[in-house]
């Protein structure tokens, strides 16, 4: 159930996949004396604290933290966490023993994977290794002001809101997204758990306001973007560049656009409020006419 990101085993250059999850811009080609690139290489090779890393490259800790975040879209600690998580994903997908995969990725003990943010896997490592088998997802299709909406939820919150005109096509997309999970359809959302969540989504899609619990599974960078989107007031927009600056990654506009494209929770995570710098709409997973409709409706409210 996790957002799919490229990954490979740890070693020199292996954290490229961490940056790829955070930015679609290519990693800068190192030049002699490039201290930030040297810091990245050191993190690829081992687990260093910020103090150790700053001493190794000859920059103060605060200066390194700021410049590294601006260059790569992640702090050194976040970069290291992404590298380790990428190594874990790779080992699990290759069928390695769970315990061995955890230790090889550098977690030290099974509990450390959770302390370090393994919730980004969206499930236990064992379930991730088996392709999500055993994950319970309840879902229903309901008619809303925006047409048909498929609402899928885990016990943690809503993991998918898919919009369209064909209920069968919506169900097919759910199956593609979670191919090994246990999918349970609840007609009209009629159970005590799903019913209020379906209603909350329908109200939100109809232009109402309310709390909709979500289960957002993605990279650290994607979560930063999605969190920032949910803070944009209705009726307002931000450019991809503005969102990138807001989350501390001024060169990450293209990566912000990619995170918006990877958002699978329509409207509740309002990627429709992000536009190009010239004010044009840009892209939208559910089609530009719907993006235009949503913005027009919010501005008129």
Active site residues per annotation: 271
Tell me whether residue 58 is exposed, middle or buried, using C-beta atoms within 10 angstroms of its C-beta: 0 to 12, 13 to 18, 19 or more.
exposed
Instruction: Count CB atoms within 10 A of the CB of residue 59.
Output: 19
d(CA 101, CA 86): 11
d(CA 186, CA 136): 13
Give strand pairing partners of 160.
152
Give strand pairing partners of 185.
139
What secondary structure letter does DSSP report for 185?
A: E
Helix 76-93 to helix 220-229 angle, to the nearest 10 degrees? 120
Do 59 and 257 meet the contact criterion of CB atoms below 8 Å apart?
no
- Which residue's structure tokens are 């930063």? 224
d(CA 260, CA 276): 12
Token pair recorded at residue 137: 């997802």
Specify the pairing of strand 147-153 against strand 136-144: antiparallel
Say which residues have a Cβ less than 8 Å from residue 57's Cβ, sequence separation at least 6.
35, 36, 38, 39, 42, 64
Query: Three-state SS for 297?
Result: helix
Query: Three-state SS for 182?
Result: strand
d(CA 62, CA 156): 36
């Amino acid at each position: 159930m996790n957002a799919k990101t490229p990954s490979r085993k740890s070693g020199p250059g292996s954290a490229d996949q961490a940056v790829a999850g955070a930015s679609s811009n290519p990693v800068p080609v190192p030049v002699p004396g490039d201290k930030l690139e040297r810091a990245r290489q050191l993190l690829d090779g081992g687990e260093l604290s910020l103090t150790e890393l700053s001493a190794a490259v000859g920059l103060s800790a605060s200066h390194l933290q700021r410049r590294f975040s601006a260059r790569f879209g992640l702090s050194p600690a976040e970069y290291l966490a992404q590298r380790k998580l990428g190594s874990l994903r790779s080992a699990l997908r290759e069928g390695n023993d769970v315990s061995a995969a955890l230790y090889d990725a550098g977690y030290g003990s099974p509990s450390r994977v959770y302390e370090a943010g393994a919730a980004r896997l969206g499930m236990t490592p064992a379930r991730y290794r088996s392709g999500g088998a055993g994950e319970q997802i309840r879902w229903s299709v309901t008619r809303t002001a925006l047409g048909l909406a498929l609402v899928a939820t885990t016990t943690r919150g809503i993991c998918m809101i898919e919009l369209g005109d064909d209920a069968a096509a919506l169900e097919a997309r759910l199956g593609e997204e979670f191919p090994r999970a246990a999918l349970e359809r609840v007609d009209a959302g009629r159970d005590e758990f799903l019913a209020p969540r379906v209603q909350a989504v329908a109200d939100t899609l109809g232009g109402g306001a309310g709390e909709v619990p979500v289960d957002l599974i993605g990279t650290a960078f994607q979560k930063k973007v999605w969190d920032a989107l949910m803070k944009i007031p209705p009726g307002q927009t931000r450019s991809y560049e503005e969102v990138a600056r807001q989350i501390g990654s001024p060169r990450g506009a293209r990566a912000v656009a990619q995170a918006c494209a990877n958002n699978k929770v329509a409207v509740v995570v309002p990627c429709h409020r992000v536009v190009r710098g010239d004010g044009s709409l840009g892209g939208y997973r559910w089609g530009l006419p719907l993006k235009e409709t949503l913005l027009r409706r919010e501005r008129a409210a």
